[in-house]
Amino acid sequence: MNYNINLGAWKSVFAVPSNVVDEYILLAGSASLKVLLYLLRHSGEDLSCDNIKSALKLSSDDVGDSLLFWEQAGLIKVNAGNIAPAQEASAKDASPTKKKAEVTQAVISNSADNKDRSEEDGVHVVMSKVKEIKPGKSNRLSAGEIASRINESAEIAYLFQSAEQRFKRPLNHTEQRSLISMHDYIGLSVDVILIIIEYCQSIDRCNVRYIETIAANWADRGITTHAQAEEAIVELKQRFSYEKQIKHKFGIERALIPKEKEFAFRWMGELGMSIDMVDIAFQRAVENTGKCSFAYINTIIESWSKKGITTPNQAMEEKESFKKKTKKKEKKKATSYNLDDFDRIALQNTPK
């Protein structure tokens, strides 16, 4: 009688380093985990970035960011396009005067000494000691440094958790470094950073670069408290709405260039023109020049501001008044020409 054990899906397995779960399960984004699992499953094979992104339906940026994450975590080594298990994890302390704590971290390594292992075994886990690093330049923080920052700061841990709830997904490495930068180096509090994230979500621009831009602008302007942040958000929402309405009125589908935004926000703020007044100025610009010229529209609006014209009715009255004056001048000019002709004819017919 023959016996057979049906292992099903467990017939083919591969090893995953323990610290992927112990240290990085909360830090690694879904893309990072997918990339690592794919690499482990296909160890020994020649893989390119195109292979990975095609198999996992990821972008090149996602694949690159994921490889960088695991390289800085000390799990892999990327050299000239070749991906290999890291043989040892080491890092330079950003501040030698600070106390260094040792943490245990798992790294994966292909064993050159153990040739009895079959190719199907793939990789094995080697435990080694690495030094914990206090955060240095935020854009250079490794995954291990970020993990340490979370463990030592309840605020950072809460910031990450709250941000992930708002994003409805795990943060990737770039986002984690960016949030730490806003908190530790720009100096914004957790609640202020979350206010920025919520605003960016409300306008469908919840990407880390846009969030960073607002954070840096607020830091320059001294906006650091919750109350100041709430006021700044009201201003941002007004600007966003004003810009959106201008694009709609002008028939613009692209993003406004900086100079156009400068004009628009001046009309809204310094000159206090409503969107209806801007629309009237736009229509006159098109009538007179045949195109949408922000500079020409600005000339009209500045003229109104100097004259104290702030409503559509006042703008219409000004236009009618201008027409009447123009007609009067033309009529006077025509009358003047007729009198001259009369005098000339009269002189010609005068008896000598």
**How many C-beta atoms surround the C-beta of residue 5 within 10 A?**
7
Domains of the chain, each with CATH number or no CATH: 13-91+99-132 (1.10.10), 135-224 (no CATH), 229-310 (1.10.10)
How many whole angstroms from its chain centre is CA 59? Answer: 17
Give the number of other CB atoms < 10 A from CB of residue 131. Answer: 15
Closest by CA to 243, choosing from 214, 264, 218, is 264
pLDDT given for residue 301 in this prediction? 92
Q: What is the per-residue pLDDT for 101?
A: 30
Residue 218: predicted pLDDT: 92
- The whole-angstrom separation of Cα 30 and Cα 37 is 11
Give long-range contacts, CB 8 A cutoff, 24+ apart: 227-234: 229/191, 229/192, 229/195, 229/196, 230/195, 233/195, 233/199
Q: Are 188 and 222 in contact (CB under 8 A)?
A: no
Residue 338 has what pLDDT?
A: 55
Confidence at residue 199, expressed as pLDDT on a 0 to 100 scale: 93
Q: Are 150 and 122 in contact (CB under 8 A)?
A: no
pLDDT value for 170? 87
pLDDT for the residue numbered 336 = 52
Q: SS3 letters for 88-132?
A: CCCCCCCCCCCCCCEEEEEEEECCCCCCCCCHHHCCEEEEEEEEC
**Number of Cβ within a 10 Å radius of residue 269:** 13
Closest CA to 166 of 138, 216, 217, 207: 207
Print burial letters for 206-240: b (CB count within 10 Å at least 16), e (below 16). Answer: bebeebbebbeebbeeebeeeeebeebbeebeeee
Cβ-in-10-Å burial (0-12, 13-18, 19+) of 182 comes to buried
pLDDT in tens, the chain (352 residues): 677 767 677 778 888 888 888 877 766 778 888 988 998 888 878 777 888 888 998 888 788 778 877 876 777 877 766 677 765 434 333 333 332 232 223 222 222 333 333 333 332 222 222 223 233 345 577 788 888 888 899 999 999 999 999 998 888 888 999 999 999 888 899 999 999 999 999 988 888 888 998 999 998 899 989 999 999 999 999 988 998 999 999 988 888 888 888 999 899 988 889 999 999 999 998 988 888 889 999 999 999 999 999 899 998 888 888 777 777 666 666 555 554 554 444 445 545 4
